Amino acid sequence: MNEAEEAKFEYALRGKAWKVYWLLLKSGRPLSVREVQKALHFSSPSVAQHHLEQLRELGLVEKQNVGGHYFLVNEVKIGVLRHFVKLGKLLFPRYFFYAVFSTVFYALFLLFLVQGVTRENLFIITFGAIVSVIFWYEAARVWSSRPY
């Protein structure tokens, strides 16, 4: 995706349209206008329909001929989505995996490899704790920036 397309998507995917896109991305299944309205607490189905049609015009969703449900056809990695990884229906901040990895190995080091308190062990213990805390902080920060 070039910069012009990326800017177009970032401009179009704001506010309620962003929330609708996020819902479709998370659900992993076609959704009706009413389902979108109820899930996002929109005032009326026409608000949901407007934003779904906006996403359809961008080429991100399509409407089923039978049933009229909307489903995601393109995923774009713009804005905060660059920092998320999708596993099935779940979206995780990329830093979450770094945090889990660093914390597990830090705990394994503390449990099995620390034989005594030496300068080297104190350095590794301090460095490991700082790295783990930073990754958990970044994962929480990215998680809090999701649309809802």
Instruction: Please state the pTM of the whole predicted model.
Output: 0.72
What was the pLDDT predicted at 46? 96
Q: Which pLDDT score, from 0 to 100, does residue 126 have?
A: 96
Give the CB-side neighbour count of residue 142, counting CA atoms within 13 A.
20
Rounded to an integer, what distance in angstroms lies between the CA atom of residue 85 and that of residue 95? 10
Instruction: Return d(Cα 68, Cα 88) in angstroms, integer.
Output: 24
The confidence score (pLDDT) of residue 74 equals 84
Terminal Cα-to-Cα distance of the chain (whole angstroms): 26
Q: Please give the average per-residue pLDDT across 100-124, as a whole number.
A: 92
| CA torsion through residues 110, 113, 115, 118, sign | negative
pLDDT of 1 reads 67
Average pLDDT score over residue span 68-77: 89
Question: To the nearest whole percent, how much of the chain has pLDDT over 70?
Answer: 99
